[in-house]
C-alpha cells in the first residue's frame, strides 16, 4: 500500500529525529550531512502537503458554492 504525503512527512521527521540525536552525540561530517539531507526531505514533503491541503480546501469550497447556487430559494 502506498503511503500518503502526510505519512511520508511523519516518517521523514522520525528519521531526522534519530539523525539529530546522532549528530548531537557525535558532531561528525557524516552526521551533519545526514541531518541536513533529512531536513531537505522534510521541506520537500511539507511543500507537497501544503499544495495538497490547499487543493483540497479549494475543491470543498467550490462544491459548497455550486451547491448553494443550485439550492432552490
pLDDT at 2: 63
Helix axes 5-25, 29-70, angle to 10 degrees: 160
- Domain segments of the chain as ranges: 5-70
Place 1 in a pLDDT band, splitting at 50, 70 and 90: low
Does position 14 have pLDDT exceeding 80, yes or no? yes
pLDDT tens column, 15-37? 999 999 999 999 999 999 999 99
d(CA 13, CA 31): 15
| CB-based contacts of 35, cutoff 8 Å, min separation 6 | 16, 19, 20, 23
- Whole-model pTM: value is 0.81
d(CA 24, CA 32): 9
Amino acid at each position: 500500500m502506498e503511503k500518503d504525503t502526510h505519512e511520508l512527512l511523519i516518517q521523514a521527521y522520525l528519521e531526522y529525529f534519530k539523525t539529530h540525536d546522532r549528530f548531537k552525540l557525535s558532531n561528525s561530517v557524516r552526521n551533519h550531512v545526514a541531518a541536513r539531507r533529512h531536513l531537505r526531505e522534510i521541506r520537500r514533503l511539507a511543500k507537497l502537503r501544503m499544495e495538497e491541503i490547499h487543493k483540497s480546501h479549494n475543491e470543498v469550497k467550490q462544491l459548497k458554492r455550486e451547491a448553494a447556487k443550485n439550492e432552490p430559494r
